[in-house]
Structure 1
């Protein structure tokens, strides 16, 4: 399995490397998003030193970490699977000795290795030398493990969305709606601790916080949501459990959805 993952990841790396100029556009998206956050929060902090227990510097670190983690875990499994289903090209994967889910995960590994070179590292330098943001995790090992689990959970969530293509003729609307919902519930636009307590409690039991909010809090060295505080090893352990649960959900949806595939367009 490792040999297959390595081979598919390498081919995907070479394929996307031919269009690496397309990836360079994201070099502007991340810093511009961060710059907008700087202006917004600078205005909000002009009359107070802390908001919800966070200082201006900690808030900037939160959004900088959000941007950098996004470059590491970005995923296209939902779009890719839906395209294969609707064009009928998915039929070829049914004849292969490797599951499409593992193949898609291997593709993501290759794509993000390329992204690490052409997106993550340049933006990391921009944050360091332009914005003077020191992105050093409090607990490097736990932060790396949490980001790795976030990588897997992001893939499994998006893959579950892609499986909807077995039932729906058009999935773009569902995909876009889910993308916004996922990012809100993951803490991309606003730290989850800023939401009302009742909503925080709901978010605590959803898988989305483990995509962005949890790895960021592990990066910062503490975790708290809905009045629930956990040590870093504890929350990373819960994150690993969520990854297993999402794998089970994706397997259940897969077994149900595959029975609806008719190979139209093949």
Structure 2
């Protein structure tokens, strides 16, 4: 069977991250070890996949290795065998570099699409718990899962506002780091003019009361699926385009323009 890579979780954190991305990646690794157990393989991937470390059950060992050779681990990945699937080895891989974070799988979400809806729902909930732990890190302002359908979001509400010209560049790793000033300005403007309560009411009105939950540090968790991760309630990208238009209208009524186009 052909491997089809999917991102279970991802963040274009290069557009906002202020902390040392290698350290934040280690914080994510520690959370994943809590859920998934030992690291099967830690590798630096800047030039080629090297031998790295295998079968590591101590987070302190992982941290010491990464921080002992920052050049080698400028880009690194961490491989886990996810224990929530027992039928066969289920590989998840955390990729860390300055522009983004991804947590990948290689079976096109087939383990979330079994013939047993209860199993699908349980695995979705288990992934949501990992997602919530990762997204709760203070350094992570926005986190999505999974990649193609954008079935869940956790972060600051401003990151739901995604003007296409800007985020086409955010989502291209060659340009992600170059968007930091624009994204920071946009987030600041959004938070100054669009109350979180307005965003929460907006989502609840369209997706249901259970679709959005307030979290710590002003973050929200929005679920665009219905119980199973592959059962979308809406076309999320279309939802976000409509959200953008409605935010713009809300702001026009206050004589405010949030996104003024690309910086010169």
Q: So what's the TM-score if we normalise by structure 2?
A: 0.28
Q: Whose strand proportion is higher, 1 or 2?
A: 2
Q: Whose helix proportion is higher, 1 or 2?
A: 1
